[in-house]
């Protein structure tokens, strides 16, 4: 059975969307109100579609969207909302695999769009296999003298997830050089990585958490030059 995750700003909103879809489509539906709850769901099963159900698309919704895109999965994301500011609307139009349905929308429109998205992507894929771990990793900023000592809890070919103590903001787009010592190979590996999402309440330790995407030296240089 295909699986849908609804992330909403309130249980009431999520329940309403869940009720409509549950009555019309043979799907398994999970709900989450916070990014932490969503992370638990996304890491526990493969979803065919994620729905963001919010009254207004704002900076918080965009952060959740970018966080989902950085999770190394390829499910489509449907945003249901009453209001989207013009700059964010333009931004959404440039993103791939992102769909928007404005409220109020008839139930038939919602069901029809969800059905099309599910039919178009029957088998969800994880871009890179992730390995659970718990080891100390040093992260050195490529734009300042800042250095972080973090705990890395997930590692894949495409990126990593780390948690660390507060003491300075880590923002989406920041570039770091990560030094990872793998005990099974007794070797140290160095990667350039870009922060793709953050959370103030990490799943594993409750500390600040961030998702990182490994980037090539060429992409790193382009990013650094664009900031100059």
Q: How confident is the model over 149-177, as pLDDT tens digits?
A: 999 988 888 888 899 987 667 888 899 99
Which two three-digit tokens encode residue 94? 């440039």
Q: Write down which residue in 88, 120, 152 finishes a domain.
A: 120
* Contact call for residues 43 and 74 (beta carbons, < 8 A): no
Print the domain residue range for 208. Answer: 130-227
pLDDT the model gives residue 177: 94
* In a shared domain, residues 55 and 136: no
Q: How confident is the model over 95-131, as pLDDT tens digits?
A: 778 888 888 778 888 888 888 888 875 444 455 666 7
Q: Give the residue from 196, 200, 194, 206 showing the smallest Cα distance to 153.
A: 206
* In a shared domain, residues 34 and 112: yes
Identify whether 125 is part of a domain.
no
110 Cα distance to chain centroid: 23
Share of residues in the chain with pLDDT > 90 (%) = 13
Count of structural domains, the chain: 2
* In a shared domain, residues 51 and 136: no
Q: Write down which residue in 120, 142, 168 finishes a domain.
A: 120
* In a shared domain, residues 6 and 110: yes
Q: How confident is the model over 14-45, as pLDDT tens digits?
A: 888 888 898 889 989 999 888 888 888 887 77
* In a shared domain, residues 98 and 152: no
pLDDT the model gives residue 67: 83
* In a shared domain, residues 90 and 10: yes
18-52 per-residue burial string, b: 16 or more CB within 10 A, e: under 16: bebbeeeeebebbbbeebeebbebbeeeebbbbbb
Q: Is the pTM of this model over 0.85?
A: no
């Amino acid at each position: 059975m295909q699986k849908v995750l609804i992330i909403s700003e309130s249980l009431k909103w999520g329940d309403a969307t869940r009720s409509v879809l549950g009555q019309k489509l043979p799907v398994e539906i999970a709900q989450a109100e916070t990014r932490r709850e969503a992370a638990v769901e996304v890491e526990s099963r493969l979803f065919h579609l994620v729905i963001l159900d919010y009254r207004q698309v704002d900076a918080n919704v965009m952060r959740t969207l970018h966080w989902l895109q950085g999770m190394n999965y390829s499910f489509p994301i449907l945003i249901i909302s009453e209001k989207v500011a013009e700059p964010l609307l333009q931004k959404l139009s440039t993103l791939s695999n992102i769909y928007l349905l404005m409220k109020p929308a008839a139930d038939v429109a919602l069901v029809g769009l969800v059905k099309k998205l599910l039919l178009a992507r029957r088998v969800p894929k994880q871009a890179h296999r992730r390995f659970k771990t718990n080891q100390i990793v040093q992260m050195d900023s490529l734009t300042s003298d800042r250095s972080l000592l973090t705990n890395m809890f997930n590692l894949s070919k495409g990126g990593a997830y780390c948690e660390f103590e507060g003491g300075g903001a880590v923002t989406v787009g920041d570039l770091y050089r990560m030094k990872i010592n793998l005990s099974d190979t007794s070797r140290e590996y160095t990667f350039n990585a870009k922060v793709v999402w953050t959370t103030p309440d990490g799943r594993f330790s409750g500390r600040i958490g961030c998702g990182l995407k490994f980037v090539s030296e060429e992409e790193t240089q382009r990013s650094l030059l664009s900031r100059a």
